Amino acid sequence: MNADDALVEAVEDLVHDVAKYMVFEVRFGGAALAGDAFAEAVRSDVCETRRSMNREGERVTETAWQLWERMLPSALQEHPIARTVDARMKELPAVEWGNPSTDWQAVAALAQMTSDGIRELLVSLRGS
Amino acid sequence: MATILVIDDQDRTIDLCRGSMPEHEWHGPARSWASAQNAMGDLSRSIDMVLLDVHFDIPSSELLGVSADATDADVRRAKRGQGFRILERLRAAKPNLPVVLMTAQDGVGMEAAAEQFGAAEYTYFLDHEDIDAHSLRGQVEGILRRRIGVSVDGPIFWGRSPVMRSIRARLETFSRGRLPVMLLGPTGSGKSLIARHFVHRKSRRKGKFVAVDLSTLPADLVAAHLFGSVRGAYTGSVSDRSGAFEDAHEGTLFIDEVANLSDEAQKMLLAVLQERTVTRVGDTRERPVDVKLVVATNEDLGDLVARGRFRGDLYMRLNPASAITLPGWLTAG
């Protein structure tokens, strides 16, 4: 496997683990989601993007931005699309997640744009 | 209800499945082939279906297909196609078990890889990237119907026997008609579930489903509960209240343990069935009601009639010719 292939695979993992799951429950619920349920789905998608169990059997969660930071190959940190995604990711921790009057539609749109950016990065790498 | 095992390194999918399809029994997630084997061994019931992820981010020691001298690239590849390795083992152990592979169309060459790893007639593909509650439910219910031949109506599991098919068919016919439906069977045979999830649904009535369990109501309040009451009709009646018949107007009223009706309440119920109107206790005004009535009992009503404990005319109005006796094992949960 050459370096380019490895980068593509790394971004495929990002698509699988981050891009997909950071908009997962909102898409799953679809139009039926409203009010508190919608807010909870957005929060769950972004703040518990990965929900699993560690080797000690304890439940662990990771946010979308934590996963992004952990999984983005250093070789891609200066890639223009990655920088755009990174900027969007950095907006997410600043969201007032506990505030009911937060504009959840706007947060969901930001999550969707961030997710789309990761997919765009993959397309760009495959095409290059 | 079906028993479905989810094999996935994440909790997200099973959490959503449990929330959106509570009528099924969900197990897992099994995070590796080893834990899937344990789960299958631990379950007292056989599994009807498996939802299987493809990409497993788990320690290399738990991955199938990773040798001791594997490179990082080998491990990464094994993680990305782990679901196919698990599918291969599943197929060897349970060739006819329906397995839904949850992956992205944009990922590895899914169809080709599935063929390579022995996917056959009982393997289905679900685009996990684009899944929503509606499509997942459609996929799950469709497979349950087509592949294992079970009929699923909400939480009701009909099984495959000719007897159960016959019961279901008769119930469907009776549900659409105007006459009452009588359900007989022991406690726990699912009479209430049948009334709510089958008769009411198949009747296609636009009103509510209302259930009254006469075994839980004080005898002196049964009439007011069923037919309504006006202020002062009985001690503590401080306002006019509608009863279950009015509440279920244009819908379905399920009366459980109908044999518990007092003589007076039997008389009032008979009047409702004859006149299609209800008169609240203490009132004279007749109010029209259009209700699909379902009654249930675990007693032999015919015997009670013979012994003078249940009105014969009411018994006949309850349409005993359509009585359906449910076996004790109809529902699986």
Query: Cβ–Cβ of B15/A51 closer than 8 Å?
Result: yes
Q: What is the mean pLDDT of residues B209-224?
A: 87
User: How many CA atoms within 13 Å lie on the side-chain side of A67?
Assistant: 30
Handedness of CA B262, B263, B265, B266 (dihedral sign): positive
**pLDDT given at position B16:** 86
Q: Which of A76-85, B21-30, B233-242 has the highest mean pLDDT?
A: A76-85
Average confidence (pLDDT) over B66-95: 86
Report B:39-78 residues touching A (Cβ under 8 A). Answer: 55, 57, 59, 73, 76
Chain A's closest residue to B80, CA to CA, is A13
- Report which of residues A101 and B237 the model is more confident about: A101
Q: What is the mean pLDDT of residues B150-176?
A: 72
Give me Rg for the CA atoms of chain A. Answer: 15
Q: What is the pLDDT of residues B299-320, one digit of tens each?
A: 888 899 999 999 999 999 887 7
B163 versus B51: the higher-pLDDT residue is B51
Distance from CA of B137 to the nearest CA of A (A): 11
- Measured distance CA(A64)–CA(B324) in Å, rounded: 55
Confidence band (pLDDT; 50, 70, 90) for B117? low
pLDDT of residue B159: 63
- Closest alpha carbon within chain B to A26: B132
List of domains in chain B: 3-150 (3.40.50.2300), 160-325 (3.40.50.300)
Residue B23's CB is within 10 A of a number of other CB atoms, namely 17
Residue B256: left (phi > 0), alpha (psi -120 to 50), or beta?
beta
Q: What is the pTM of this model?
A: 0.58
> Could you give the maximum distance between any two Cα atoms of chain A, in Å?
49
For an interface test with A, the pick among B74, B132, B134 (most A C-beta atoms closer than 10 Å) comes out as B132
Give the DSSP H/E element, type plus range, for residue B101: strand B99-103
Q: What is the pLDDT of residue A128?
A: 58
Give the model confidence (pLDDT) of B261-287 as tens digits.
999 999 999 999 999 999 998 898 999
Chain B residues in contact with A51 (beta carbon < 8 A) = 10-12, 15
- The pLDDT mean for chain B works out to 82
Q: If DSSP codes are grouped into helix, strand and coil, which group holds residue B305?
A: helix
pLDDT class for B81, splitting at 50, 70, 90? confident
Selected residue of A2, A22, A52 to mutate for chain B interface (largest B Cβ count, 10 A): A52
DSSP 8-state class, residue B232: T
In percent, the amount of chain B with pLDDT more than 70 equals: 84
Restricting to B residues 122-161, those with a Cβ less than 8 Å away from any Cβ of A are 128-134, 136
Inter-chain Cβ pairs, chain A and chain B, closer than 8 A: 55
- Interface predicted TM-score (ipTM) of this complex, two decimals: 0.81
According to DSSP, residue B327 is labeled P
Is the pLDDT assigned to residue B36 strictly greater than 60? yes
Q: Which residues of B touch A25 (CB under 8 A)?
A: 12, 16
CB contact under 8 A, A1 and B106: no
Q: Where are the alpha helices (DSSP H) in B190-300?
A: 191-194, 200-203, 222-227, 244-247, 263-275
Sort out which chain A residues have CB atoms less than 8 A from B128's CB and list them: 20
Q: How many CB atoms lie within 10 A of CB B159?
A: 16
pLDDT for B130:
67
Q: What is the pLDDT of residue B150?
A: 56
Please tell me the distance from the alpha carbon of residue A36 to that of residue B221, in angstroms, as a whole number. 39
Cβ atoms B184, B296 nearer than 8 A: yes
Cβ B132–A16 below 8 Å, yes or no? no
Among B33-47, B119-133, B261-275, where is mean pLDDT lowest?
A: B119-133
Helix A104-127, helix A80-91: angle, nearest 10: 160
pLDDT at A80 over 60: yes
Q: What is the mean pLDDT of residues B219-242?
A: 84
Phi, psi of B325 (to 5 degrees): -95, 120
pLDDT band at B132 (very low <50, low <70, confident <90, very high): confident
Q: How is B182-208 classified by DSSP, letter by letter?
A: EEE--TTS-HHHHIIIIIHHHHT-SS-
Q: How many CB atoms lie within 10 A of CB B30?
A: 22
Q: Is B281 strand, coil or helix?
A: strand
Relative orientation angle of helices B82-93 and B33-42, to the nearest 10 degrees: 40
Minimum distance, in Å, between the CA of residue A52 and any CA atom of chain B: 5
Contacts of A104 (CB under 8 A, 6+ apart): A38, A39, A42
Residue B205 has pLDDT above 90, yes or no: no
